[in-house]
Structure 1
């Protein structure tokens, strides 16, 4: 059967052009789908496609890092562009199909032949470009070496002295080699599951079906998911030793593990409780509260929020967001300072779910542009390391660092508020971020600082 000859004779040249357009769009979608998968795999493997590779003009570590970051950003931008093109091609294909099949009789042989022809051409183009991109990826993996590999667990040498640098054992329990090897992989390592979480997949499928307006589509989705679950098998174990015996040994020894900076620390539960108790027993920093002040602080916060809503400074949705529905008491825990003698505990207070948690987040958004306006501001440890790498210490100079003990509880609230007030009064963009005046921001901030101060310092008995 001469498809295009019959179409031209019966329905005219314009119909033939629509079929050609539909065929071309199907091929473009097939090519871009493979192109997207290829780029995503390059991103996961930290490989830059040849068309996006940049030459580093300066032979320094900092310059190579800049070029590598630029390469990674280019790969992410290409993924975004491909996704946008795919969406536009799919929309154009849908419009072309509607225009074409309005010209052809419904449920006719000619319409079926057109659909089969377009599908066949798309599948042929998809297989051809899939093989081409697979060969490209193989060549890149063989020849391309990124300038700076990420420090993933797979790149970590897990033998000898290097293993001791990653896993710090402060407990009396002697870790076995398999236990040390698994712990050294870090908290980003996920052991392969021994069985598939069928219930999670079913719940996710049902949630997706509720969002579908078409019951037929929901039925098809359920049936496809049921078929996939029936044919699926758990992945091979990525832990060589018996995980059950290993986990039972750890539980029997009453161990738990903490991440400190980039190291995993094994501790006795009793040892950690004792250290936290000794830390809270420091009367210069902490004090015992006779009762829980949460309800009193909650009433004060609600009164402030009610006035702001009445004055039109916050709307109803903002009021509902800031209203303290949760009343959790801040919980303190500690991580050991393994780089210091005696392994003292670094106190960390979990403020999530407390009465002023949402208010603190809103104030952080208002005050965040004020941070980092000086030459001495340090963003994070990486920023500090990059700055120190450029510092040369002369023979008559020494490098000195100061350790701050109980930084937050020793910060003077009134002086801090005066500094923030001065910065807010000179901030010309404050009105773009909030309707609150400087005094109203300071009132909320003083409440948060005061309540947080007492909740952090107080030990409720």
Structure 2
């Protein structure tokens, strides 16, 4: 039933009234069902006494076991149907959200359940509202660690403090029912993927798409990529501890020679780390879906040193007329270019660009600048 009033306030009152009466009707239906169940229980007790009096003890035991088994099967079937109906009602709002089948690419023959597809369509950057208990202290500690030694640290600290103060005082983020069921679908998806180790989920190399690969295909392509390319060499030992020792000796020497202060010495010295990790992102836009290798050095022996050196060298980037920051910068520059008749524009792609840059020439460029 839908009643339209002239004023929004009146419409709100009508909606609240309708909702209250719906709740009352549901309560009456629940009480009626309870009365029906009680009547059925009384009829069951009466019939049980009559059957028990009319049969022998052995026949009664066999009949009772058969009836209890049938009743349990009927109960379980009815319960499963009702649970499924309830889940459909609860997830109705989630299913009605905007989804696009092109947001995921299932390259396997596996038929994914609906809740898995809905979860993967959300993408790796999806987030929901925070819990009521937010770890403010840990956030402040992480910010302090990140800005340590930066000249603009005081300004950044003030902005972060203002932002967090405004958030605590003026913002509320209650966890709505929709968020609760999204969390439940995410948990169910994790359980499903744990139970199906033959599936590998990652993101595509280009485009905001989630890719489902066969785990065997992923391992085979990664192994082939690492062993066939000259960029990678198999090691027969873990050089992490040796690299860590050499880096710490360099840091100590820099401090002794006065190149860095005590704060940078503390930042650059590393005592616990792990080796860099390699993974591959499938190139869906190319035949046979080759993998693009990505090496993550986060948390490795050279990570802090690389950050320190990159901060120094970053000031030299963009000093030539051929430098473009990103594709938007390139599009803006190229929009002003008129290609003469008879000329053709080429787009060239360098294979493994960074790993093929000659290191000795890089050293020379750095020294010159």
TM-score by length of 1: 0.45
Give distance in 1, aligned partners of 2:254 and 2:114.
Answer: 60
Deviation at residue 339 of structure 1 after TM alignment: 1.3
Counterpart check, 1:364 vs 2:305: no
Whether the 8 Å contact between 1:337 and 1:344 is mirrored in structure 2 is yes
Among 184, 188, 198, the residue aligned to 2:121: 184
Match of 2:212 in 1: 266
The residue that corresponds to 2:177 in the other structure is 236
Going from structure 1 to structure 2, the CA distance change for 1:367 and 1:174 (only over 3 Å counts) comes to: same
Distance between the aligned counterparts of 1:321 and 1:280, measured in 2? Answer: 33
1:341/1:317 CA distance change after superposition, 3 Å: same
- Deviations 1:175-207, CA, capped at 9 Å, x for gaps: 4555444433333323579xxx57x55x65899
State yes or no: 1:294 paired with 2:240.
yes
Q: Structure 2: how far apart are the matches of 1:340 and 1:327? A: 36
**Structure-2 separation of matches of 1:185 and 1:419:** 44
Q: Is the 8 A contact 2:107 2:214 kept in 1?
A: yes
Q: Deviations over 1:272-297 (max 9, x none)?
A: 22211111111522212232222332
Paired residues for 1:192-211 under 5 Å: 200=133
Check whether the contact 1:173–1:253 (CA below 8 A) recurs between aligned residues. Answer: no
Shift of residue 417, structure 1, vs aligned partner = 0.7
The 1:373–1:191 alpha-carbon spacing in structure 2 relative to 1, beyond 3 Å, is: same
Displacement of 1:253 in angstroms is 3.6
- Cα distance change on mapping 1:407 and 1:179 into 2, 3 Å: same
Q: Give the secondary-structure state (helix, strand or coil) at the position aligned to 2:177.
A: coil
What stretches of structure 2 of length at least 5 have no aligned partner? 1-96, 141-167
Taking the aligned partners of 1:296 and 1:364, their CA distance within structure 2 comes to 23
Distance in 2 between residues matched to 1:378 and 1:183, nearest whole Å: 34
The verdict on how the C-alpha distance between 1:329 and 1:240 changes in structure 2, with shifts beyond 3 A counting, is: closer
Partner residue, 1:136: none
Matched, 1:174 2:111: yes
Asked if 1:350 corresponds to 2:296, the answer is yes
User: Equivalents in 1 of 2:109, 2:250: separation in Å?
Assistant: 52
Asked whether 1:278 is paired with 2:219, we answer: no
| Alpha-carbon distance change, 252 to 383 in structure 1, aligned in 2, over 3 angstroms | farther
The equivalent of 2:250 in structure 1 is 304
CA contact (8 A) 2:279 2:295 kept: yes
Tell me the secondary structure at the aligned position of residue 356 of structure 2.
coil
CA, structure 1 residues 328+370, in 2 after alignment: closer, same or farther (shift >3 Å)?
Answer: same
Tell me the CA shift for residue 172 of structure 1.
2.5
Question: Kindly tell me: are residues 301 and 247 of structure 1, through their superposed partners in 2, closer, same or farther at Cα, counting changes over 3 Å?
Answer: closer
SS of equivalent to 1:237: helix
The CA deviation string for residues 228-267 of structure 1, in whole angstroms up to 9 with x for no partner, is: xxxx974212568972655544444433432334222222
* Corresponding position: 1:330 with 2:243: no
Contact 2:283 2:290 (8 Å CA) reproduced: yes
Q: Please give the alpha-carbon distance, in whole angstroms, between the structure 1 residues aligned to 2:310 and 2:139.
A: 34
TM-superposition CA deviations, 1:75-97 (whole Å, max 9, x none): xxxxxxxxxxxxxxxxxxxxxxx
By how many angstroms is 1:419 displaced? Answer: 1.1
Number of corresponding residues: 238
Q: CA deviation at 1:364?
A: 0.9
Question: Which of these residues, 363, 381, 385, is aligned with residue 327 of structure 2?
Answer: 381
**Contact 1:167 1:263 (C-alpha < 8 Å) held by counterparts:** yes
Query: Matched residues in 1 for 2:138 and 2:98: separation?
Result: 44
CA contact (8 A) 2:244 2:271 kept: no
Gap change, CA 1:245 and 1:305, over 3 Å in 2? closer
Where in structure 2 are the equivalents of 1:218-237 lying within 5 Å? 234-237=175-178
Between the aligned partners of 1:392 and 1:207, the Cα distance in structure 2 is: 51
Q: Name stretches of at least 5 consecutive residues in structure 1 with no aligned partner.
A: 1-155, 209-224, 226-231, 424-461
Provide the C-alpha distance between the structure 1 equivalents of 2:128 and 2:246, rounded to a whole number of angstroms. 48
Q: Structure 1: how far apart are the matches of 2:218 and 2:174?
A: 41
Cα distance in structure 1, aligned partners of 2:209 and 2:139: 39
Change in CA separation of 1:359 and 1:192 when aligned onto 2, cut-off 3 Å: closer
SS at 1:324 equivalent: coil
Judged with a 3 Å threshold, the aligned counterparts in structure 2 of structure 1 residues 409 and 183 are, in CA distance, closer, same or farther, namely same
